[in-house]
Amino acid sequence: MWSMKYGVRNKMFDIKHYVATGLLITLIGSVISDCPFPKKNLANGRYLYQAPQHVNLTVAPENYLLRFRCSPGFIMKGSKTIVCISNKWTDKVPSCLKMKCSEPPKVLNANYTLNSGANNPLTIGTTATYTCNPGYELENSTDSVLICTLFSDINDVQWKGATPRCIERETCSDPGVSSDGTKRGNCCFIGDILEFSCNDDFELVGKDKIECLPGGSWSASRPLCKPNSDHCDLPPAIPYGVAKGDKEGDYYRPYDEVEILCQPGYRYSGSTEYIMCEEETGWEEEFKECVESFCDPPEPLANGTIPEIESSNITVYTFNFELTYICDKGFRLIGDSWRFCDSRGWSGKSPSCEAIYCPDPGVPEHGTRIGNSFEIGDKVTFSCFTGFELIGSFERYCMPNGQWNNELARCDHSNNYCPDPGIPVNGMKNSSNYDMGEKVRFSCYGGHTLVGSEVRECLPSREWSGEEAKCFGPYDFDNSAKISEILKEAVAEKEAEQKRKLEEYHKALFETWHNGTQVMPMGRVLDINFPGRLIFYFTFDVSGSVREVNFRKSVEFAKAIVKKVGISKNGARAGALTFSSKARTQFLPLQYETTEEVLAALDRLNFTGGGTAANTALTHIRESLIPLTEKWLLNKGMKSIIFILTDGKANMGGDPKEEAELLKQGGVEIYCIGVTNSVLQDSLYKIASDPKEEHVFILQNYATLSFLVEEITNGTIDYSKCGLGLEKLGKKVGRGRTVGGRQATEPWPWMAALYFIRPGLPPEFQCGGSIIHESFILTAAHCLYTKNSKKREEREIIVKLGLTDVKNQTALQEFEVKKIIVHPGYRFGAIYDYDIALLQLKRPMEFNALIRPVCLPPPELPPDISFYKPGEYVVAIGWGHTGIVQIMEQVAFKPVDQLKEVILPIQSEERCRRNVLDRHLHEKSFSERMFCAGDGRGGNDTCQGDSGGPLMQSLLNEDGYTYWTQVGIVSWGTGCGVVNTYGYYTHVQKLVDWVISNIPPKA
């Protein structure tokens, strides 16, 4: 035991010696342990004693600390210190191992080999020699070796030397070898030499050896193997062109052929572009040059113009010169609307202009049609057999674009569960069963495309599923004036919407700031959280068929909208993408914050050419652009609006309907503008938002697009034009009447309501009137008298405008009367001659979409005008009594809330006069300043409360718009809706001179 040995040794050593050497021994009891020292030498290292003289000790006392250190270039494995505790060292003696480098650095396009005599290949002195892969060489030849080296200052080993870099060797292109010969040698780095030889019966032409020189060129061209048999020399070099053809070897043999291909803008001047190698004689003809390409003047366009020809004195036309073909009014273009000069002459075929006629509008089942002429401006009128009622339009005009205006006429029976869906113009249907659950299939005549639903089902709601089926011809296009108005209104609405929402947000933000919950009223929060931002995506067709000049017109269209709506940091934004066979983002909505920046970005768009695939563009917008824009602008409430501009040729990149539906379900609004007669109308209708007529526009040519640019940029909607704004009206639904008749589905913007003030009571509706001027209302004179024959005073009258439903006063404008002007020939009483008056307002009204004037007939009627002709239809509107009133019956008058309309046939003067006499009325009750209307079958009339309102007829203007003229004023009648009676109306045309004389001319 250590304690016994210690007792013996204690006599041999002086305890003072231990103290002197720094060793303090504590005796605890009589038993103390010690540890034998390890071997005195540590391979590649040494011991560190607590004192130098301890080197001779053989044992270490309790708690003795022994340390170790390795020699330079070695690293310790194990503990750096051990302690003697309870007769044992706390750990083993460590070992010193030779340091080694990490793996040599990896070098791109290179490998290394290690050279070392030691067992461990990565020890000090090991070398790593790098060699580059084939095709690469060291950038610096001295940098190929790294050495594993000890750095004594840091006592670490690292690879010494610059890390090599392998760069691609300079090469020459492979010169190939003749199919009639061979080559030998390595290829194709600098210094490589190739040796060539030819097969038997062939002669080597050129040098048999060539070397790859610095710079990547061969010392000579590859030699050719020339046959000893018949052959043709190689074609000469042709400036601006090249001769190409298939050949077995280096030379053309008999019956081989070459084609001369000229660069764009050049054409071959020889008689043919194909030249054959003949036996014995060589090439069949001499090679000519590629000369600059020109086109001769094109054929003139009968019944049309080519503006580029008329505006210049050019006799020859350069390569890529473009022509635009525009037909005269009344003609449509058959063929492409533009051509360009290419190396073969003018592209495509010369188009022609064909006189425009409307197709046969058909005759509704169980009905009749009046009118068999289908020229522009012609009108057809529809009516139904007894027991059937007319739905749709009772009259339709042939518009300048060869299409019928208004809606399809159908004759419906009350026994039908769903209303008669009608037969599309230029089409047919397969069933007349309209019971619930029944399906009707529609189809079009040959050469026409069905747009809408091919199959429609009668639903329990008594409505048809899907959309109305229409058949379009290959050369159908939309009325440019109509498109202009729709687009101007749409852009104005977008501009107003953005402005309104931004103002609302500014107001809300200011209130938040004012209440102390926001630091700044106009801070960054606007850009982040604005909920009403409009995002425009302009999608341009850049396919080859469009051509760059037309692409630029599409860009100008987008710029016109951008200018009108405006781009701002906190308001509307715009992005653009182009599509041909693929879609490509040109710029994102988040990139630009001003109108000027977006306009400049649009100008920078490049035309590329290619296929046509709109489907890829829609997918790109849905999957990438919209999510990215929403994420960046941190807003989910923004509204996305897509404009697609295409010529629609080739294909649309697969059926785009599914992709468009996903976008529309997400609230995206899609406009489609297709140019030319080749556009795939069906695809555009599938893509566009509803209503289709406000989102799909088929243009005859790109000149029309330029017209729209001008209209959107400079034009505003002129609401002062009379008689317009009712494109969807003029529909006859049953034998509706103001006496219990049908409600007006949309406002008649010139209708005025006259309210009379009663002492102590609210104003009471009494009569109607019509807007004919910003300061004048036309009405019936008898409306301005009380039952006691007293003429009303101006202060007793209030005029209300902008009403359809009197309870909905959203668009209401209310006016006091400045002056009452009654025709001097009018006498209040039982005779209603000269029953006409004017109300001059105290202030002018503000025209808008819901408040605008009706037209007045001209002082002299043209002989061919339909006004006042017996059998023609007129429309009356009013809020009057709705029940049938028998002759001499007294009923309590109660106006209706909803404006009503009725369609009445004009009767002859003789019948009007005879009806007065048959009723035993005074013969002067009917005068030449009156006419009567109605069908005499009862239940179809105007009544009390309708007095003063307008009676109107429609015409078609030169732009293809239906406009309305007030031909009469509701005046008097015997009863309301009684059989064999008619309503009597003031003849406005015969009194129009008086009306005009009382209205001051515009300054």
Q: Is 835 part of the annotated catalytic residue set? A: yes
Measured CA to CA in angstroms, residue 957 lies from 378, 386, 396, 482, 615 at distances of 11, 33, 13, 12, 39
Please identify which residue in the block is written with the tokens 């906190």. 570
Q: Are 356 and 378 in contact (CB under 8 A)?
A: no
What whole-number distance in Å separates Cα of residue 702 and Cα of residue 304? 15
DSSP string, 600-664: HHHHT---------HHHHHHHIIIIIHHHHHHHHT-S--EEEEEEEE---S--SS--HHHHHHHH
List 947, 954, 971, 987, catalytic entry: 947
Measured CA to CA in angstroms, residue 594 lies from 535, 567, 569, 597, 641 at distances of 13, 5, 7, 5, 18
What whole-number distance in Å separates Cα of residue 988 and Cα of residue 985? 9
What whole-number distance in Å separates Cα of residue 811 and Cα of residue 391? 29
List 782, 823, 881, 987, catalytic entry: 782
Q: Are 616 and 644 in contact (CB under 8 A)?
A: no
Q: Are 520 and 513 in contact (CB under 8 A)?
A: yes
Angle between helical axes of 702-714 and 480-514 (0-180°, round to 10): 40
Q: Is 246 part of the annotated catalytic residue set? A: no
Beta strands in 285-375 (DSSP E): 290-292, 294-295, 304-305, 317-318, 322-324, 326-327, 331-334, 338-342, 345-346, 352-355, 367-370
Measured CA to CA in angstroms, residue 549 lies from 49, 290, 299, 496, 577 at distances of 95, 27, 22, 32, 18
What whole-number distance in Å separates Cα of residue 246 and Cα of residue 660? 48
CB atoms near residue 174 (< 10 Å): 11
What whole-number distance in Å separates Cα of residue 385 and Cα of residue 669? 42
Q: Are 414 and 756 in contact (CB under 8 A)?
A: no
Measured CA to CA in angstroms, residue 234 lies from 220, 269, 279, 603 at distances of 18, 19, 15, 48
List 250, 835, 941, 946, catalytic entry: 835
CB atoms near residue 52 (< 10 Å): 8
Phi-psi region of 504 (alpha: psi -120 to 50; beta: other; left: phi over 0): alpha
Tokens at 957, concatenated: 């203007």
Choose among 169, 149, 172: nearest CA to 160: 149
Q: Which residues are catalytic?
A: 782, 835, 947
